[in-house]
Amino acid sequence: AAGVVIRCWRALSGGARVRDHERRTLVACSAGADSSALALCLASATANLVIAHVLHDLRPADEARADLETARALAASLALPFAGASVGCRSKPGNPEAVARRERYAALVALAREHACPFIATAHHADDQLETLLMRLVRGAGPRGLSGIAPTRRLASGVTLLRPMLDITRAEAEAICRDAGVEWAVDATNADRSRLRAALRHNVIPALRAIAPGIASTAGRVASVQRSLARELDRAADELLELASMSAGAPPQAETRADPSLGPSHRPDRGESGVVRLSRRVLAEAAGPVLDVALRGALGRVGGGGDAASSRTLARLAGAIRGRSGERRVFQFAGALVELDADWVTIGGCSP
């Protein structure tokens, strides 16, 4: 399992054309078994690492501080530099877990730049991938959602996120720690079955694993296929928006001024990002999944939520686009108004 992690880290950080000492990596370490195993694996391949821990305020202060010290001690035992950061999440609006994730990644990017690390490695593994797919299946996700946790993505200019543990399981990560004599911290919130991820982990996945022991590896292959499908859908949706925009006599990006066709009562206000005008006929001829992705993309261009847009309202809009009525209709999304008439679909961003 350790060999799998090291090979994946090398493949994701440049492959054979890059030497290990050139892959300077910030290892995000919560002090749990997963991230401790990641640190152990990569430390056996290179000393050009920085162990990083981000402290946030969503857990009791004494528990959070204990995890920080456990991560610091692990870094010291591996003779590696340690970097820490603190972020405040409790007072910020929005879903607490989403806020914590956003703030944590921002802090990691700052630490990576401070320590000249072009790569940040996190310890997401095969069981995390399975849990993520099940969560998104429960919520009715499409190919993009079911593409799961990507092995790599660009976080910021000059900083790339790597996930080299997606091919090993939580049990294998714990075995790595045990074999190395490393004790890990346990986050009590992971046992809270009122949270969807924890409920799936404790109530559903054991039953699935009893039926199909290799279910976590299967989930990884499913996610890979869905990522390929999502890329093809994105390409087709971009082409559709280009054609629909050209047919409407407008560029595919949002215009910088309000479209007067929206009328005075729906004229974009100061919160608007722009207007996109599309040919209804071109959109109506598109396949359903391509139209869905294209509309989400157009909404995203004017600040209308994109992937977070209401699926129910989006389905009503798609049905109206394909319908025969030429009656003017307006659809409201968070941050966007969509006007539909006989010939055009006009999408204007506005304050939610």
Question: What does the pLDDT read at residue 261?
Answer: 33
Q: What does the pLDDT read at residue 192?
A: 78
Query: Rounded mean pLDDT of the chain?
Result: 88
| Residues forming a β-bridge with 56 | 87
**pLDDT reported for residue 269:** 34
Residue 161 C-beta-side C-alpha neighbours within 13 Å: 19
Residue 36's pLDDT is 98
One pLDDT digit (tens) per residue for the chain, 352 residues: 999 999 999 999 999 999 988 999 999 999 999 999 999 999 999 999 999 999 987 788 888 899 999 999 999 999 999 999 998 877 777 777 788 889 999 999 999 999 999 999 999 999 999 999 999 998 888 888 899 999 999 999 999 999 999 999 999 999 999 999 999 998 877 777 888 999 999 999 999 999 999 999 999 999 999 999 999 999 999 999 999 998 766 544 444 333 333 333 333 333 344 789 999 999 999 999 999 999 999 998 887 666 667 788 889 999 999 998 889 999 988 888 999 999 999 998 775 5
What's the CA gap between 135 and 217, in Å, rounded?
A: 17
**pLDDT confidence of residue 88:** 83
Q: What is the DSSP string of 102-150?
A: HHHHHHHHHHHHHTT-SEEE----HHHHHHHHHHHHHTT--HHHHT-S-
**Torsion over CA: 186, 187, 188, 191 (sign):** negative
pLDDT at position 13 is 97
Partnered with residue 278 across adjacent β-strands are 345
At which residue do the structure tokens 């790599």 appear?
Answer: 152
Residue 338 phi, psi dihedral angles, 5° rounding: -120, 120
- Report the C-alpha gap between 229 and 148 in whole angstroms: 12
- List phi, psi (to 5°) of 349: -75, 150
Alpha-carbon distance of 294 to 104, in angstroms, equals 31
pLDDT tens track for 138-179: 888 888 889 999 999 999 999 999 999 999 999 999 999 999
pLDDT tens digits, residue range 19-30? Answer: 988 999 999 999
Q: What is the pLDDT of residue 248?
A: 63
Distance CA 236, CA 293 (A): 9
Show contacts of 133-138: CB within 8 Å, 24+ apart.
133/219, 133/222, 133/223, 134/200, 134/204, 134/205, 135/196, 135/197, 135/200, 138/196
